[in-house]
Structure 1
Amino acid sequence: MTKKRMRMRFRRGLMTGRFQPFHNGHLALARQALAECEELVIVIGSAQFNFIEKDPFTAGERVSMIHAALKEAGVDLARCYIVPVANDENNARWLAGLRSQVPPFDALYSGNEFVDYLARSQDPSVAVRKPEFANREEYNGTHIRALIASGGDNKKEEWERLVPPAVAKAIVEAGGVERIKMLTRSDTDPNRW
């Protein structure tokens, strides 16, 4: 057994999020998980949603953003899986459904009280790990999208400092700034159609 493997507390960790967009708080959580786990599964939730105000980016765009951000940060990509997963509206089977779509994991990284409850009640053997959040008010997808929507070039740096440079570049290249502004002005709630 190698020294590296002996120091790892968990074989494989999992973190979930919509990553709309992937921000510096997410990157810090990935680093936290990789310091404790041999490998990390990053689950892109709500993969079926895109081009709506709450979820402006496609699953494919989010995969690319996360991959680019991890690579730029010097994270060993051989230790990471990025898996898009569509929502399951039946919360009683959430963990079993998730487990059927991702590699096995023994630690779940979550700052969401409801996710923590579901995981603990559905599989007490999974270790639920709390993120070491830094500045959660700013490192928040809703806040970042609001900054993008409200700004012009003068607000650009306000949202860009909250995401890894690779993500800022991906957002701009995908037309994400214009998309978010347009979606904010439009009725994109799929429940109203």
Structure 2
Amino acid sequence: MLDYLVFIGRFQPFHLGHLQVVKAALERAGKLIVICGSARQARNPQNPWTVPEREAMLRAALPPEMQDRVFVVGCSDRMYNDQQWVTEVQSLVDKVIAVDTASLGSREAQFKVGIVGSRRSKHTYYLDLFPQWQRVEVPEIAGIHASQVRRNLFADGGAGLCADKLPAPVYESLQAFRTGDIYFNLEAEWRFVQDYRRAWSAAPYPPTFVTVDAVVIHSGHILLVRRKNLPGRGLWALPGGFINQDELVKDAVIRELRDETRLKVPAPVLAGSIRSSRVFDHPHRSLRGRTITHAFLIELTPTGEGLPKVRGGEDTERAKWVPLFEFNRMEAELFEDHFYIVNWFLGQI
């Protein structure tokens, strides 16, 4: 019998399949560490619930005798750096064990740790990133998918929400969730995305969209815009957008940057300030469909006149310079994967 098992997932929401895994895991280990992914992302139709809300669902579904044997912690996504993600998961597990065993005066190395996972699932490649933990197979319930639960939650006002796939307390909490402002905002975004996808559904092949994003750094600040329209209305984002059919990606990023921020820097200076670029192509980076972005790092040289003036454009409510130390606390306010894009570039500076 293992001392601890680790169960990694997003649990959006916690359903009967998850519950069966938790119960089976607790038959094979003394305690279970549940790690909720997408811990600090902004709410969207794919990630509607915060870590505390997901923990509340899980605990509402657990019998009393299991409560003290389950720990729940949140982990950020690291779309473009697996090693950062692995390091955070390892650190979270280490901290949970350290706190849980503090009174014993023992070290983690003396405990047997495993990880829950199935080789039959196509979404568990990450299990190979933890060779130090024993992999434990647990039975799964076929036909239960959180993505389908979310679709039913947002379609037709949630009328088709599937009670047979959810623990009763979770079903009740989702019914209550449907009556709040958060739900109505997410439902509007979900409908926007469905209409967006429907517009190109008749294409002979699913289209791949190409966008650009500008990571503009000046004197320890980064330039952000607040989105005016769906999707991501009200969230902060990098200046950027879709490329036109007749322009190069480098020209597109300068155009979008100037249109969205009214940045008072000549286009030739902006182009000459490009320090590096990278393609960010995670398949799930955008709910709108397969969207590949070309991001450019633009470092502006201080001139002694302070930060250049900026203001919102046609598609943005506002533009502002944000100190980098403050930006690092804004993960839950950023659109799509923009937080991770910026952090990749900051690691190269």
Shorter-chain TM range is: 0.7 to 0.9
1:128 aligns with 2:147: no
- Runs of at least 5 residues in structure 1 that lack an aligned partner in the other structure: 1-8
Contact 1:50 1:59 in 2 (8 A): no
AA paired with 2:20? A
Give the structure-2-normalised TM-score.
0.46
* Superposition pairs of residues 31-110 of structure 1, within 5 angstroms: 31-70=23-62, 73-89=63-79, 90-102=81-93, 103-104=96-97, 106-110=113-117
Distance 2:34 2:166 in 1: 17
AA paired with 1:87? D
Structure index of larger Rg: 2
Moved more, 56-65 or 20-29: 56-65
Q: Which has the higher strand share?
A: 2
Change (3 A) 1:174 1:62: same
Change (3 A) 1:153 1:128: closer
Q: Secondary structure, in 3 states, of the residue corresponding to 2:165?
A: coil
1:172 aligns with 2:163: no
Moved more, 176-185 or 126-135: 176-185
Contact 1:51 1:183 in 2 (8 A): no
Distance 1:155 1:173 in 2: 15
What does residue 113 of structure 1 align with? Answer: 124
Give the structure-1-normalised TM-score.
0.79
Contact 2:152 2:159 in 1 (8 A): no
Alignment size in residue pairs: 175
Contact 1:148 1:177 in 2 (8 A): no
Distance 2:48 2:39 in 1: 11
Distance 2:128 2:337 in 1: 30
Distance 2:184 2:168 in 1: 18
AA paired with 2:336? N
- TM-aligned CA deviation for residue 68 of structure 1: 1.1
Q: Which runs of 4+ in 1 moved over 4 A?
A: 176-180
Distance 2:67 2:59 in 1: 8
What does residue 141 of structure 1 align with? Answer: 146
What does residue 189 of structure 2 align with? Answer: 183
What does residue 215 of structure 2 align with? Answer: none
Over aligned residue pairs, what C-alpha RMSD do you find?
2.3
Change (3 A) 1:95 1:39: same
Distance 1:28 1:75 in 2: 15
Distance 1:50 1:25 in 2: 25
- TM-aligned CA deviation for residue 94 of structure 1: 3.2
Q: Which has the higher helix share?
A: 1
Contact 1:56 1:179 in 2 (8 A): no
